Structures are given as structure tokens and as C-alpha cells.
Structure 1
């Protein structure tokens, strides 16, 4: 009797224990990870149609993100590292992407910027996208210097910047040119 009672208790204890060392993320998280990675692939493919299609349910995000995609293409963004996917809550995910670009090259800074995409995802669809960056103070100083000292490079070219403006390539190329002059002026 004692042996069978002991066996029953042991069996109940073993059945009640969960092995958490090999758990898989929930299916919803896997969907979000897959969708976020597809978004990054679409963004850095520099194919506007593919990205716009992914943003079909995020019309408010389209002008900024599509502009940024062209800016990134014209500044020759190259992925250096994909950071770890971060699930902030049931709908917000963050995906940091570290890139090498012409802007840091023009500043002659050995630094790769990390842009973080903030994707609102629900039911397997992207509802909005925002970005943040770890740009250095030197980047902002150069940007102000260009606006003040070389406005002809950016005034017209950067009209509508980040709002779907018509000339993201000309804008970023003007910035790169101005950043080079900013760097030379400091020597």
C-alpha cells in the first residue's frame, strides 16, 4: 500500500512538473518574428512595391517608411547585424538593425548606426511602423551645419523629408556631400 501510494504521489509530481528548458515561443510570437523579418527583408531589398504591399494596412506609416527606404538605398545602407527581436507587448515588436552607410563615412566616423523598427502587428498584419536610431551627436551637428552653411544642398531636395517627400535620394546625397564638407572644415 505504501509503495503504491508513494508511486502515485511520485507520478503526480512528475506529471505536474514542466520542463521549461526546451519550450518554443508561442505560435503568435513566431508569426510576429517571421513577419518582422520579412519586413526587414522587404525594406533592405529596396523594392518599393514589396514594402508598400506589406504596409497595406498601415497607410499612415507608408509615407515615412517608403521615403526612408529610398533614403537608405541612396545612402548605400548595408546590414551589418540584425539584432534580437524584442516583443514589447501583445502587438508591439522591435527589431534593431545595425547598418553601415555613406553618412557615417562622410563624417569619417568608425561607427555603425542601429536603426530600430517598431512594428505594431496584430493578426499577422503590420498596422504601423515607426523607427528610432542611435545616431551620434556628431550626426546632428553635421546636419545643422549643412542646413546653415550649405542650404543649397538640402533646402529644395529635403522638402517633405520623412513625410513622403519627392526627392529622398537628392536629400541624402546633399547631406552626404555637406557632411564631407563639415568634416573637412573641422581639420
Structure 2
């Protein structure tokens, strides 16, 4: 109904946004470059390009970049060259990481890291931890982020970050007495 029409309109706006297009193209290029360091020359390519994935509170533009691992490389080499991912550091990656260390008030911890598995056959599947909640000693520490580029609107980026955090907050909120009965 109405929600689906609204979601399709938001998808169209997201894909048509020049800032989102430029940011995503830069990240696709960065991923291709990273994988190119450990893959057979000419084998790195997008298998999915600029597809919108919907989540409970936000939509993301997603691309999948694949390549054939070079014979002298191990699957963990592919992980090593792609993390931390450009989607959470920016580019150029090394300088962006220096700026993050200088300006972010707390260490990222598991935020922007990787969670996944590696099989004995050498297959691996990892994802970026782009929304995290760490609960310790009765306190919850929630981390989310947004892609900031030169023409970013700080208010829009803050709204995006808060929307992402909103999806985590119910999981770390104290349960109400009698809830679920």
C-alpha cells in the first residue's frame, strides 16, 4: 500500500542523489583496488552494482565486488587487504584512518570490524560491523556512523546516524516487568 509506494520513492531518491552516487562509486573503486592486490589480474568485477537493500530503519545502496584469488594468496589475505573497509574509513584509506584516530573521542572497538567465518576448505564470509552494541557492567555502548564527504549535510548525517542507532536501542533497553507474558 502506501508504505510500499513511499519506500519505492525513497529508493528512487537515494539512487538519484548525486552525493550518494559519488560516494558509492568511490567506495566501489576502492573495493576493486583493494581486491586487485590479491586477485588474478582482470578478474575483479562487480556482480551487483548499486542495488538498494532495505532494513528496518534505513536503506543502503549495495554493490558486490568479486574476483578470483591469485594462486599465491590465502583467503585471509583478501580479508586483510579489504579491512578496515573503505565504507567505514573513507579514502584515501591510510590518511582517513589517521584522521579517525586523531578526532574520534573513543576507540572503535568492534565497530567497523569484521564478523564471519573461515572454513577448512578456505571459504570465508565476513561482514562489516556497521552497527554495534557492547553491553558490559550494566551499561550499553552503541555505535553507528554515516558516510561523510565534502558536500555532506551535517544535519542529514546526524539524522542518518540516529536512525541507525534507533534500530539497536530496543535490544539494549531494560525489559519491562511482565513484558512478554
Q: What is the TM-score normalised by the length of structure 1?
A: 0.28
Higher helix share: 1
Give the structure, 1 or 2, with the largest relative contact order (CA under 8 Å, sep 6 or more): 1
Larger C-alpha radius of gyration, 1 or 2? 1
TM-score of the two chains, using structure 2 as the length reference:
0.28
